[in-house]
A and B are shown apart, each in its own frame.
Chain A
Amino acid sequence: MVLFIEQLLNGVQLGIFLFLVSAGLTLIFGIMGIINLAHGSLFMVGAFVAATATTASGSFVVGLIAGVAAAGVTGLAMEYFILRHLYHRDHLDQVLATFGIILFANEMVTIIWGRTPLFFNAPDILNGSIELVPGIIYPVYRLFIIAVGIAVAALLYGVITRTRVGMLVRAGATDREMVGALGVNISVLFMALFGFGAMLAGLAGAMAGPLISVEAGMGESQLILSFVVVVIGGMGSLRGAFIGAMLVGIVDTMGRAFIPDLLKLFLPIAEADGLGAGLSSMSIYMLMALVLVIKPSGLFPASSGSH
């Protein structure tokens, strides 16, 4: 039972982390209608710059801020020089261009930082674990990610539902052309939105640095998961991204934790190990397929006039 609760907590933590990665993606996709495969590259930029700045300054907070800022600036540059010219083009053109950006970004990172993964550990105060309740020992850093993730979710919720900017964003998601016709400067709104989405990716990357290897190409595995989250949650919906991320995080963790053991109850051990590992790595895709069968546009679709 204790193990079950601990694994559930692990699932929630992974979910919160996935929400951080996918929030920017779903905003950009749902509101601007841009498929940005290079979202993972922004994640990577955040992690690399945060690692470098943390090492140079000795302060994790400085590193976080630098990582977020760098991803934001990179995102703005990407929007200004490349994506801006593709808004009216086919999705396939956007996929091609942003895939090109992935290759470019990975190679650029290798040229600047080399192929050795960067050193980036959590500061001492966040390292180590605490006993939450007797029997459940949990890493402080993962609790920190949960706290930051919830804070970001609350902030986004407040901005989207309570502010004028949020209103424009919601309106843009519903009918982009009409918002433009009503006199809102769409290109500024889009650029700001893209920059903000990039900063969220950078934050996720910087936060992930102490947990995972900071290396070229680190964004791609996150990208696939965050697309699954966005598809499950419904494109353009932050609420959907949050619920979707939680579902993916919990299903993935619980699958890895318990499927092999369950199979061992009625299969020989060797087969249960292999099959269990296979099934648990498929679990989130099965979840996605299931959601798509029941609700083809995701759990909480933000209806858009352009789709």
Chain B
Amino acid sequence: MKRVTKLALAGSLLAGLTASGAVQAEPVKIGMITTLSTGAGYLGEDVRDGFLLAVKEEGGKLGGVEVEIMVEDDGRKPGIGKQLADRFLKQEKAEIITGVIFSNVSPVVAPLTLKAGAFYISPNSAPSTFAGAKCHEDYFAVAWQNDSLHESAGIYATDLGYKNAYILAPNYQAGKDSLAGFKRYFKGDIAGELYTKLGQTDYAAEIAKIRAAKPEMVFHFLPGGMGINFLKQYSQAGLIKEIPLVVSSVSMDSRILKAVGDIALGVRSSSHWTGDMDNAANKKFMAGFVETYGRTPTVFASQGYDTAKLIASALKATGGKVLADKDGFRAALKAANFDSVRGEFKFNTNNHPINQWFGRIVAKGPDGKPMNKTVKMVSNGLADAYASACPLK
């Protein structure tokens, strides 16, 4: 059934493109390199669907300009990302590259894009590499800088009054960055720190260690399936009431919630966006997404949608010129003159957003099913730690 709606959407997009393509010049080509397979495939799926929703709203256009969106799966592999970037940039002459989810793919795709003179606009991955001294005027991150996801969890945990925390993450760069980010803003002590295998399924040993350490709370960075594995086992060990979890949004998105159900009640997380945010753009997005795809959007879908809206605002400002008017397009991107689903939106000097961050808790929604409810704002504008090293103004 879901397949059918997708096909119908693709069909209508295609029809829109060809019908009006006859009267107008070449559409602006946008290459989307994202992760659609592997256990993390739903991340890319939501970024793509959020992005395409914005295109669909305008009947195949962004900012009144014809666009052609080419979507491909990188399988979370840098090598495939490189091949796709080469193809999009050289053969297809894409003017904008977007879509990358993972921070092992972006360090390959972003430099290729910038070297080819095109714009790189990330809906998700934003490693520290491109936020500090090696920032670039044509590189934009719409979601956040990676660290701030976890920094905001540290702020929230401090705000909740926890005196010590047990922290764990997978043993790879993004995992290490996450723990560093949490510690940067958490004012309590660290009761224990643990690295796990990437893609680990059994957490019995780690959970026994947490129980023995008796911390006040646990922070982890276990997105997707890993987070589901951990949460199920943590709940069965009877710890979820005793030692509460405070995590970042990616470790407690709406798909994880759907998979674990009631056992997630009481889990706290920090996020720059939540489905219940009260602004017109978000209400339109939520209604449109549910109607089009028949499911609740995750935070990733909101980022895909915002990315498309940002591009739309810049295309509108330049009248559809991208590489033909690089300075104009760049300035329009940086101005970020669009209605973001997260309310306020502004870029820092290093082209990474200064987000407001909110504390959330999983509670029963109006339909009796668990959902993330916004509790309070924990940061009214969190700038990342690297912006000062970036020479851009």
Chain A positions near chain B (C-beta within 8 angstroms): 2-3, 6-7, 10-11, 13-14, 17, 106, 110-111, 114-122, 127-129, 137, 139-142, 208, 210-218, 221-222, 252-254, 256-257, 260, 269, 273-274, 276-278, 281
Contact = CB atoms under 8 A, between A and B. Distances in A.
Contacts of A111: 3
Contacts of A260: 194-195
Interface stretch (B39-47, B77-85, B301-309): B39-47
- Majority SS at the chain B contact face: helix
B45 to A, nearest CB: 5
Contact of A129 (B212, B226, B238, B255): B238
Given A110-B41, A256-B205, A257-B205, A273 B225 contact: no
Contact of B193 (A129, A208, A273): A273
Nearest to B232: A211
Given A211-B233, A221-B199, 12 more contacts: A10-B205, A116-B42, A116-B295, A117-B255, A119-B261, A120-B259, A122-B236, A221-B201, A222-B201, A254-B205, A257-B208, A274-B195
Nearest to B229: A212
Nearest to A256: B205
Contact of B237 (A122, A137, A254): A137
Contacts of B259: 116-120, 213-214
Most buried by A among B195, B205, B206, B260: B205
A212 B238 contact: no
A46 to B, nearest CB: 15
B258 interface: yes
B202 interface: yes
Contacts of B256: 117
B41 A119 contact: no
B41 A121 contact: no
Nearest to A141: B236
B225 A218 contact: yes
Interface in B206-238: 206, 208-209, 211-212, 224-226, 228-229, 232-233, 235-238
Interface string B322-357: 000000000000000000000000000000000000
Contacts of B209: 3, 257
B14 interface: no
A139 B202 CA distance: 13
A116 B258 contact: yes
Nearest to B296: A116
A128 B201 contact: no
12 contacts: A10-B205, A111-B3, A117-B255, A119-B259, A121-B260, A139-B238, A208-B201, A210-B232, A213-B224, A213-B229, A215-B39, A277-B194
Nearest to A117: B259
Contacts of A278: 171
